[in-house]
Amino acid sequence: MSSFNSVSDALDLLVDPFDDVGDWDEIVRRALALSPDREQRPRQLRFLAATAIVVLTTALVVATPLGAAIGRALDGFGTWVTGQPGTPASPDAQKAFQAANARSWASFARGTELRKLLVTEASGATFTLYGFRSGGSLCLRLVVSGSVRGSTSDCAPLSALQTERTPAVVVAADEPFGSVHVRPDAQGYVPEAFSATFGIASDGVKRVTVQGDAGQADALIGGNAFLYVADHPKLGARIRAVDAVAANGTRVALPFASSPFGTLALAAPPTGKVHGPSRIERHVVGGTIGWVERREPRGRPVPANLRKRLVGSQLTRGAKPLLARLIQPDQRDFIRV
Amino acid sequence: MGRRQSGASLDELREAYQRRLAEFRRVAAAIVGDRELASDVVQEAFVRAVKQRASFAGRGSLDGWLWRIVVNTARDHRSDPVGDRDETDEPGVYHDMVDERRNVVRAAVQQLPERQRLVLFLRHYADLDYGSIADALSISDGTVAATLHAAHSRLRELLSEVRSA
């Protein structure tokens, strides 16, 4: 069945080498944040803390007027740095997350602790936003229960947050949940029951406003996060702008790409610095996509006329699709698959 | 890395982290059985090291002290598996030959006593010499040599059994 030339060959197979870079700054930040007695901290560590705060403050001040406003008084994403944003999630929510995580193809580290950040209700549905840290990323998980059920998780790299020129980051925009049972329009689209926009905000952000096709509204804010839920939005209605507002009223627009409506209605590509790895970090072989296996209706429905065309097409190799959804993997990119 | 003074500086810790990160992570992955978790474990270990750096007595090497923290932190997070977690363990999911061979090695390594496993991991994945392994695990050089020999023999035997099965 199997053969190995040596013990060394066998051990090589057991654990692949690592070649990714580490995050020393994160270690120092955590060590500082968790230090039980700041007064007894060695001088060099205090100097490092001061340097880190100065660097963060300087970045914000240079970047934006809001940064200047909040930079004097904030510790950035303070509750996230200590890993204690919001309140502990309920045992049931933690258990559900662990179960979903265990099924996931790209699961988070075992033992990841959820924190409940925000809760809101709309038309019989409860929206609970959880936060958790995963390696070098801050992640948000929105769970919807009640009249509509669903969940989605999205992450932002900590390094990106620290270098971000804005005091808040849109992690997901117009994330759809459920759909309304009405006759599809001429192109086959039906409106979604709810759409959610959420993200991470630094300590100095007092308000987050969303400007959509239906007008302007305030997002809920708390636990270094914000959440806005559009209740039964009109077909094709989208969030067009998200602003963070400091205590003194200074306003900064947050970058994100509006989710396009229609198969070919592609928005202009986003500008700015590209984040993420520049090379393949891991080859994944085989596996399944949990939400596809469970026929979970993530993303948006595929228009009826396009679904008809998919049946028997070359794309599906003549087979009838079991599930077809439009997915926008990156909230800052208009590309959908 | 011999030392005469107690306490480790941040620069020394950072240098060791950057120099040996891949090895720390690989050994941690072998212990906890999960690559992602291994990265978290090493971060956590170094947070502990930074916080406790004043307690480094300087009697052994700094590397040995750090390896001890990494190994202990990994042991705190350890679950049953050894080696990279195999996500294809779920029924009905695609298996390939590499997965199958990896499972064979994992099963064999799991049968070794913990000390043999740790010595094997530190020797193979971190290329530590006997003195450094002894330092990291707080055992003698002689015990390292004997344990490593026993681990190799037993593992060879277990893998041969599989081959002839």
CB A310 within 8 A of CB A263: no
Distance from CA of A314 to the nearest CA of B (A): 25
Higher pLDDT, A277 or A254: A254
Residue B163 has phi, psi (to 5 degrees) of: -60, -40
Query: Which of A73-82, A93-102, B83-92 is least confident?
Result: B83-92
CB A131 within 8 A of CB A115: yes
CA B124 to chain centre: 9
* Positive or negative: CA dihedral A83, A87, A93, A94: positive
A150 DSSP β-pair partners: A144
Domains delineated in chain B: 10-164 (1.10.10.10)
Residue A101: pLDDT above 80?
no
- Choose among B50, B96, B159: nearest Cβ to A27: B50
What is the C-alpha end-to-end distance of chain B, expressed in Å? 46
- Alpha-carbon distance of A55 to A49, in angstroms, equals 10
CB pairs under 8 A between A and B: 128
Tell whether A19 lies on the interface with B, counting CB pairs under 8 A: yes
The stretch A71-90 carries a mean pLDDT of 55
Amino acid type, A115? R
Interface test with A, best of B6, B20, B32, B36 (most A CBs within 10 A): B36
Higher pLDDT, A70 or A89: A89
- Choose among A16, A28, A44: nearest Cβ to B84: A16
Sheet holding A137-146, edge to edge: A87-88, A115-122, A125-134, A137-146, A150-157
* Residue B27: closest C-alpha in chain A: A15
Residue A298: pLDDT above 60?
yes
Do B21 and A44 lie within an 8 Å CB cutoff? Answer: no
Half-sphere exposure of B102 (CA within 13 A, CB side): 21
CB A147 within 8 A of CB A193: yes
Do B162 and A31 lie within an 8 Å CB cutoff? Answer: no
What is the C-alpha end-to-end distance of chain A, expressed in Å? 40
* Structure tokens that stand for B125 in this block: 């994945």
Judged by DSSP in three states, A178 sits in: strand
Angle between helices A43-63 and A24-34 (to 10 degrees): 110
Distance from CA of A70 to the nearest CA of B (A): 28
* Residue B24: closest C-alpha in chain A: A18
* Residue B97: closest C-alpha in chain A: A2
The stretch A174-203 carries a mean pLDDT of 84
- Alpha-carbon distance of A72 to A75, in angstroms, equals 9
Residue A305's pLDDT is what? 67
User: Comparing C-alpha atoms, which of A209, A208, A213 is closest to residue A191?
Assistant: A213
- Choose among A14, A15, A288: nearest Cβ to B93: A288
The stretch A41-56 carries a mean pLDDT of 34
Mean pLDDT of chain B: 80
- Alpha-carbon distance of A16 to A104, in angstroms, equals 21
* Residue A134: closest C-alpha in chain B: B40
**CB atoms < 10 A from the CB of A310, how many?**
15
CB A179 within 8 A of CB A190: yes
- Alpha-carbon distance of A142 to A150, in angstroms, equals 8
Do A26 and B43 lie within an 8 Å CB cutoff? Answer: yes
CB B39 within 8 A of CB B86: no
Question: Cβ neighbours of residue B150 under 8 Å, at least 6 residues apart?
Answer: B116
* Residue B110: closest C-alpha in chain A: A14
pLDDT band at A3 (very low <50, low <70, confident <90, very high): low
Interface test with B, best of A13, A15, A41 (most B CBs within 10 A): A15
CA B136 to chain centre: 10
Judge if pTM exceeds 0.80. Answer: no
The stretch A192-199 carries a mean pLDDT of 92
- Choose among A7, A13, A48: nearest Cβ to B102: A13
* Structure tokens that stand for A293 in this block: 């296996």
* Structure tokens that stand for B51 in this block: 């916080």
User: Using a CB-CB distance cutoff of 8 angstroms, which residues of chain B are in contact with residue A3?
Assistant: 163
Judged by DSSP in three states, B150 sits in: helix
Helix and strand numbers (H, E) in chain B are 7, 0
User: Using a CB-CB distance cutoff of 8 angstroms, which residues of chain A are in contact with residue B46?
Assistant: 24, 27
CA torsion A77-A79-A84-A85 (nearest 10°) is: -80
Do B34 and A110 lie within an 8 Å CB cutoff? Answer: yes
What per-residue string of b and e applies to B2-28 under the rule 16 or more CB within 10 Å gives b? ebeeeebebebbbebbeebbbbbbbbb
Going by the DSSP 8-state scheme, the letter that residue A306 receives in this structure is: H
User: Using a CB-CB distance cutoff of 8 angstroms, which residues of chain A are in contact with residue B83?
Assistant: 14-15
pLDDT band at A47 (very low <50, low <70, confident <90, very high): very low
Tell whether B112 lies on the interface with A, counting CB pairs under 8 A: no
Residue length, chain A? 337
Judged by DSSP in three states, B76 sits in: helix
Distance from CA of B2 to the nearest CA of A (A): 23
- Alpha-carbon distance of B147 to B120, in angstroms, equals 8
Half-sphere exposure of A48 (CA within 13 A, CB side): 21
Distance from CA of A37 to the nearest CA of B (A): 11
Residue A300 has phi, psi (to 5 degrees) of: -115, 160
Do B21 and A18 lie within an 8 Å CB cutoff? Answer: yes
Q: Express each pLDDT in B50-97 by its tens digit.
A: 888 888 877 778 888 999 999 988 888 775 445 544 433 333 233 345
Measured CA to CA in angstroms, residue B86 lies from A14, A15, A291 at distances of: 10, 11, 20
Q: Express each pLDDT in B27-44 by its tens digit.
A: 999 998 888 788 888 998
Residue B121: pLDDT above 90?
yes
